[in-house]
Amino acid sequence: MKITVVGAGAVGATTADNIIRRELAEEVVLLDIKEGVSEGKSLDMYQTAALLGFNTKPIGSTNDYEKTKGSDVVVITSGLPRKPGMTREELIGINAGIVKGVTENLLKYSPKAIVIVVSNPMDTMTYLALKESGIPKKRLIGMGGALDSARFKTYLALAMDVSPLDIHGMVIGGHGDTTMIPLTRLATYNGIPVSRFLSADQLEKVAADTMVGGATLTKLIGTSAWYAPGAATMMLVESIVRNQKRIVPCSVYLNGEYGQKDICMGVPVVLGRSGWEKIVNLRLSDAEKAAFEKSAEAVRSMNAALNL
């Protein structure tokens, strides 16, 4: 098993580090355009092997895609990070060109790889990668819902003063401050609806905090977050390479599901060795369906800027 992570910034390096610690592959290639960065971070990670007890070998590469040859899973984190006050949508013009070039180079050396897109605006970058690459849709996955859902569960756990491990819930729709849809109605505390523990006002606040979860961290840190994004990406990789069949909200290509066509958006999917295996159809309420439609309109608006 071989995994490549493109982009040795905070998110990419944290993703690679998590993958290495979980020993999800024999080799993990970390690639970046900045001279020496990926090599240095890979060596730093490898020096923890004797301390942490893993056998995965990290390999650094400065823009040499030949080193990624034969990868089973490739992760794209390339692109500019979001700055304070900047929306994900504003990143589209810059990051579209980056993601297109990276996707082409990766598939040149690993034509059968499963591609995970992390770069923002994620739904639009996932759609771009799919359209430009022409690979089967089930091998192209956008990582957004896994992260948003983790934040949702965290805010629920904080509001209830319980362990996040006992909270189950998901966020669907677009991966944006105004487009994501935290499904408070379906969230549970070990099988018990969270509505039994939290008031409508409390649930509304949890949903609102979730939607600005990324922006909140950007304001506090001064740049995009990396610990949770890196862990969320690793979780997708693990479900794929270990064929775990986990249900995870991911941005995938819709062709009639949830009433949408020719768009990539966050919906629950089963993840396995071949990529996303099937879309799980939730029974949404009328209000949730309306929110999903509104979210789709916003994502389509961003996709239109790609001029495909």
On whether the CB atoms of residues 115 and 204 are closer than 8 A, the answer is no
95 annotated to bind ligand:
yes
Q: How far apart are CA 28 and CA 46, in angstroms?
A: 11
Residue 134 marked as a ligand binder: no
Say whether 10 counts as a known binding-site residue. Answer: yes
Q: 261 in helix, strand or coil? A: strand
Check the annotation: does 259 bind a ligand.
Answer: no
Tell whether 88 is in a known binding site.
yes
Q: Is the dihedral of CA 50, 55, 57, 58 positive or negative?
A: negative
- C-alpha separations of 58 from 4, 30, 41, 55, 250 in Å: 10, 7, 9, 10, 27
Does residue 185 have a known ligand-binding role?
no
Q: Is 161 annotated as a binding residue?
A: no
CB 65 within 8 A of CB 112: no
Q: Is 151 annotated as a binding residue?
A: yes
- 101 annotated ligand binder: no
**Residue 168 annotated in active site:** no
Q: Which residue has the tokens 């969230």?
A: 187
β partners of residue 59: 29
Catalytic site residue from 175, 209, 215, 218: 175
Which residues carry out catalysis? 175
- Give the residue numbers of the binding site for NAD(+): 7-12, 32, 95, 118-120
Binding residues: 7-12, 32, 82, 88, 95, 118-120, 151
Summarize the annotated binding site for substrate as residue ranges: 82, 88, 120, 151
